[in-house]
Structure formats: structure tokens, C-alpha cells
Amino acid sequence: MARKFFVGGNWKCNGTAEEVKKIVNTLNEAQVPSQDVVEVVVSPPYVFLPLVKSTLRSDFHVAAQNCWVKKGGAFTGEVSAEMLVNLDIPWVILGHSERRALLNESNEVDRVSNWSKVVIAYEPVWAIGTGKVASPAQAQEVHDELRKWLAKNVSADVAATTRIIYGGSVNGGNCKELGGQTDVDGFLVGGASLKPEFIDIIKAAEVKKSA
């Protein structure tokens, strides 16, 4: 089964309601490859999830940037996965290196039980927000190793079907070459996902079609 190209936009802790409306308008007007070619998911800050969900085009999906590790209850400030499901938010970013570095999250809080619902993002920390991007060969090497790890530790089927996406200073200029690598199945984009060049990054999915 071919792995569908996946482009995630991680807006991190950025934006005002006005800015969010502008970004959504830009996305709504963009001409991009169809859903058969690329899956697009944007992840605004929590407070903007309902706004984005209700105004974003229906062929793009919405993700939360984190969720509580347990069921709901007396956990002030947290949001449970059930609440996201209730709001029809189908995706959540878990275990981002910023949460690991700043909020002490560990592997213990993101154990996987159903791999068919998982997209893995490889983000070298030195490439996040620095303008220093991994070379296509570097990204390919790590993605290949991650796939081998999945084959050994989970199953050959999971290794073949799980999407492994690259993140770290992806932009409109470097996305095509990175996306052309055999084991790079898309991107998790930070800074550039707030700008119109995110559309070019979505279009990088075309490199797989012509491969």
C-alpha cells in the first residue's frame, strides 16, 4: 500500500484570532493536489481550534498540539483525547521535542497501541526553527533507520505502511528535494506553516506522484 504524502503545519504558540483568520483564508483559496495525493493537517493553538475547525476547507484537517495522557477528571488546565474526539478533531501532535525539552515529557507518555493511527515525525533538534535543514541524504538515512526499527520492533507491515515525515526548517525552497527521498513521506512544518509558502510545501507531494 502506498503511503499517502502527509503535510502537517504546527503553528506552535503563535497567532491572534485575526492572524489565524488570514492564514485560514490563504489556505482556503489555495490550489493544491487532491486528497488522494496529500493529506494536509494544520495544528493551531488550542484556543483557536474551534475557529479553525469551523472555517477551514473540508479537505484539510485539524490537529491539537498536545493532549492529556489519561481520561478526563481533576486535571486543571488539561484537555483529554476524548474531548478532541468529541469536537471531531482527528489528530494530535504528541511528544514534540519542545515539550520534551521544556516540559519534561518522556517516552512513557506516548506509548503506541494502534500504529495505523500514527504518523512519525523525525525532527533533528538542531534544525528546529534554526534555518539549518537536514540534507536530503541525512533525512533519508534516518527515516530508513526508523523504518528498520519499526520492522524489527513492531512488524514488517507497520514498517511498510507508517508514514515518517521530516520536520526542521522545511520551507518552500527545500521541500521538493527532501520530499523526493524514498522514505520521506511528508513534513511537519513550523515557521513556514504560518506563511503562504506552506502551499508550496503541500504541492511538494507531487514529487511522489511523478516518482
Ligand X SMILES: O=C(CO)COP(=O)(O)O
Identify residues 82-101 at the interface with ligand X (CB under 6 A).
96
Residue least distant from ligand X (Cβ): 190
Selecting among 39, 98, 105, 123, the annotated active-site residue is 123
Among 190, 203, 205, 208, binds ligand X (CB under 6 A): 190
Tell which residue, 51, 40, 48, has the closest CA to residue 65: 48
Nine cell digits for residue 5: 504524502
Which helix (H) or strand (E) segment holds residue 6: the answer is strand 5-10
Tell me, yes or no, if 123 is annotated catalytic.
yes
Q: Residue type for 161, please? A: T
Provide the 3-class DSSP secondary structure of residue 127.
Answer: helix
How far is it, in rounded angstroms, from Cα 149 to Cα 19? 40
| Residues 13, 45 contacting (CB under 8 angstroms) | yes
Return the number of the residue (38 or 63) whose C-beta is nearest ligand X.
63
Tell me, yes or no, if 96 is annotated catalytic.
yes
Nine cell digits for residue 24: 485560514
Return the number of the residue (56 or 188) whose C-beta is nearest ligand X.
188
Provide the 3-class DSSP secondary structure of residue 26.
Answer: helix
Selecting among 96, 98, 105, 143, the annotated active-site residue is 96
Q: Is 65 in the site for ligand X (CB under 6 A)?
A: no
Q: Is 201 in the site for ligand X (CB under 6 A)?
A: no
Q: Is 191 in the site for ligand X (CB under 6 A)?
A: yes
Among 15, 124, 168, 186, binds ligand X (CB under 6 A): 168
| Residues 65, 79 contacting (CB under 8 angstroms) | no
Among 105, 123, 183, 185, binds ligand X (CB under 6 A): 123
Q: How far is the CB of 11 from ligand X (least distance, A)?
A: 9
Nine cell digits for residue 43: 495544528
Q: How far is the CB of 128 from ligand X (least distance, A)?
A: 4
Among 169, 174, 201, 208, binds ligand X (CB under 6 A): 169
Q: Is 44 in the site for ligand X (CB under 6 A)?
A: no
| Residues 57, 51 contacting (CB under 8 angstroms) | no
How far is it, in rounded angstroms, from Cα 147 to Cα 155? 10
- Give the footprint of ligand X on this chain (CB under 6 A): 10, 96, 123, 128-129, 167-170, 188-192
